[in-house]
Structure 1
Amino acid sequence: MTRRGWTLFAAMCVLWGVPYLMIKVAVAEVSVPVVVFARTAAGALLLLPFAVRSGGLAAARARWRPLLLFAALEILGPWALLSDAERTLSSSMTGLLIAAVPIAGVLIGRLAGDAERLGPARWAGLLVGLGGVALLAAPHLGGGSARAFGEVLLVVLGYATAPIVMARRLQDVPSVALSTVCLAVGALVYAVPAALTRPAAAPSGKALAALAGLGVLCTAVAFLVFFELLREAGTSRAMVFTYVNPAVAVAGGVLLLDEPLDAGILASFALILAGSVLATLRGRAAPAAQGTAYPGTDGQRTVSTTDSSSASQEWSTPRGHTT
């Protein structure tokens, strides 16, 4: 990979590793609808010029039904659920749980008719990764934590399912247009709830900075950097950064928010990471799998022939989820 590719890769490790930290800071002072609205509105406004230039808005409009479903699974539900869960859970723990998306993606792909065979290593990865999730969740399943864990697991399911909708119904919609329209839909949906729950007093500078960071850096800039990384390195190499994001989330929470880091968390992280890597190893595809979707890292799904995918397919396929 080129020096530019490594720079983009490093940027993505940070840009989609720190949202959990910023969400934790923001929800301490503003409501969940305000967090989601601020992020989606800022992201949509900043991406709109790029979407117009790409000429993909017409394609997005023509696919409005699956686009709304994709937006619900990728943004409308997950971003609100994540924000509400982080009122109870630490940002580092939330980031670790979201690392299970590749595992859920493999399971949901099988239920959705994915023809790719799962060998012993991938089945072992599923079991190891699920064991890591259980180890992380088990000590916290009482009271409000149980609800918060449930919310994050719903996010995992949404993030793992949304790419199936994208791969099967939205492949002809350019990535930047798809992202922009989904963010705009999110802003419209949360505008009224945000207005009704706006804080009586102005939030602190720290909370405002977190909201700005979520909308500008972790959404608009992150999408643009990610699309450039796809073009520079291709899907397979580009998506490796999703294995680094949980480590960034944990480091941010521990260093900046004084969140705990114990042996259980480290063991869970190792199990989830190992399980995700094993579960998403490229297996042998059945003959009927040509032209179908397969699960990749972090819920990513790309259109695949038996052994390779074209550069245009890599460019048109966005990340499986945003955080």
Structure 2
Amino acid sequence: MLFIAMSVVWGVPYLLIKVAVRDIGPAELVFVRTALGALLLLPIALYRKEVRASLRPWLPLLAYTVVEVGIPWLLLSHAEQEVDSAFTGLVIAGVPLAAALIARERLSGTRIAGLVTGLAGVGLLVGFHGTTGGPVPLLELLGVVICYASGPLIIERWLSDVPRYGVSAVSLAAGALLFAPFVAPGLPSLARTVTLRPALAAVTLAVVCTALAFVLFFALVAEVGGVRATVITFVNPAVAVILGAAVLHEKITPLTVGAFVLILAGSFLATRKKISEEPAEKREPAAV
């Protein structure tokens, strides 16, 4: 049940972002998401006495906040003003491929085959669907992929011993503080003009897909371990595609399905050796 819940919870954000950005600007949406998420997670982190330990490595924590929260959430929200949520979810499925390249570990024949297969899927997807919103959204999504692939590496190298509730709560609070000076003056006007559906999408994104998602993920790791928990990374894009088609009537073509299969197969092969060797507590999927 936890696995199903996580697959849905981290597959839904692409749909919610697409709805929210109809009335809410990208920076404002990131602020709402981080601020509400921090308000919900900070009490848990304080109760577990994890905040102080999370603040000690403040520089890696700040870097993690920028790379895993600030930049990718802003780029993701801006890109979805132009492209479909299903397309976004499929591009983000390439995160394990980017992580395999960034880690610069010795590549076996299986992992090389996985990288080639996955990149072929991304190329197929971009070649036939990437011109819809122009080159800028595509570059933004590629930036999100790089950020999401880099964030866990920061945790692995500098924050592996830091309590995870503390990291999540403090990074969300730091993200809200970073965006507050830029969006706070316009929040009263936004509150008067935003319509119901985008407002509900933004709140759901913050409460369910951010705060609750972290709680469920830690519970899943406790039940099955970090290695098996990362399998949700391969299911989230499918949820994004299905919801995009069912709710927003986004088009799914045979090429989309083919690209999705190639990306998943490539991601599995490219990360297979790494997953089998890494300690469970050092693995984390990207947050969307």
Q: Shared fold by TM > 0.5?
A: yes
Instruction: Pick closer, same or farther for the CA change 1:270–1:253 going to 2, 3 Å.
Output: same
| Whole-Å separation in 1 of the counterparts to 2:161 and 2:205 | 28
Matched, 1:15 2:9: yes
The higher relative CO (CA closer than 8 Å, separation ≥ 6) is in 2
Residues of 1 paired with 2:66 and 2:138: CA distance?
20
Aligned partner of 1:195 in structure 2 is: 184
RMSD of aligned residue pairs (Cα, Å): 1.7
Stretch deviating more after TM superposition (139-148 or 96-105):
139-148
For this pair of structures, how many residues does the alignment match?
286
Residue type of the alignment partner of 1:62? R
1:211 paired to 2:205: no
CA distance in 1, matches of 2:232, 2:151: 19
Query: Which letter maps to 1:194?
Result: V
> Cα distance, 1:182 vs. partner?
0.6
| TM-score, normalised with respect to structure 2 | 0.95
Alignment partner of 1:80 out of 58, 61, 74: 74
| Inter-partner Cα distance in structure 2 for 1:308 and 1:124 | 20
Deviations 1:169-206 (A, max 9, x none): 11121001001011001111111222244437331211
In the alignment, which residue of structure 2 is the partner of 1:222? 213
Q: Which amino acid aligns with 2:127?
A: A
Contact 2:227 2:283 in 1 (8 A): no
Whichever residue aligns with residue 233 of structure 1, its letter is V
* 1:320 positional shift: 3.3
Give the counterpart of 1:121 among 96, 110, 115.
Answer: 110
* TM-score (normalizing by structure 1): 0.85
Q: Percent identity?
A: 45
Q: Equivalent residue of 1:173, what SS?
A: coil
Give the Cα–Cα distance (whole angstroms) in 2 for the partners of residues 256 and 177 of structure 1: 35
Name the residue aligned to 1:97. 91
Aligned to 2:240: 249
* 1:278 paired residue among 252, 255, 269: 269
Give the SS at the match of 1:171.
coil
Distance 1:140 1:247, change over 3 A: closer
1:149 to 115, 135, 138: 138
Q: Is the contact made by 2:230 and 2:285 (CA closer than 8 Å) also made in structure 1?
A: no
SS at match of 2:272: coil
The CA distance in 2 between the partners of 1:76 and 1:308, in whole Å, is 27
CA distance in 1, matches of 2:230, 2:161: 21
Q: Which residue does 2:250 correspond to in 1? A: 259
Partner of 2:47: 53
Would you say 1:322 and 2:277 are equivalent positions? no
Equivalent residues of 2:226, 2:283 under 8 A apart: no
- Does the aligned pair in 1 maintain the 2:230–2:283 contact within 8 Å? no
Retained in 2: the 8 A contact 1:24–1:86? yes
AA aligned to 1:102 is: P
Match of 2:25 in 1: 31
- State whether residues 54 and 174 of structure 1, in contact with CA within 8 Å, keep that contact through their aligned partners in structure 2: no
Tell me: CA distance 1:308–1:16, structure 2 relative to 1, closer, same or farther (3 Å): closer
CA contact (8 A) 2:28 2:183 kept: yes
Asked if structure 2 preserves the Cα contact closer than 8 Å seen for 1:40 and 1:184, the reply is yes
Greater share of helix: 2
**CA–CA separation in structure 2 for the residues paired with 1:98 and 1:183:** 21
Note if contact 2:72-2:144 (Cα within 8 Å) is conserved in structure 1.
yes
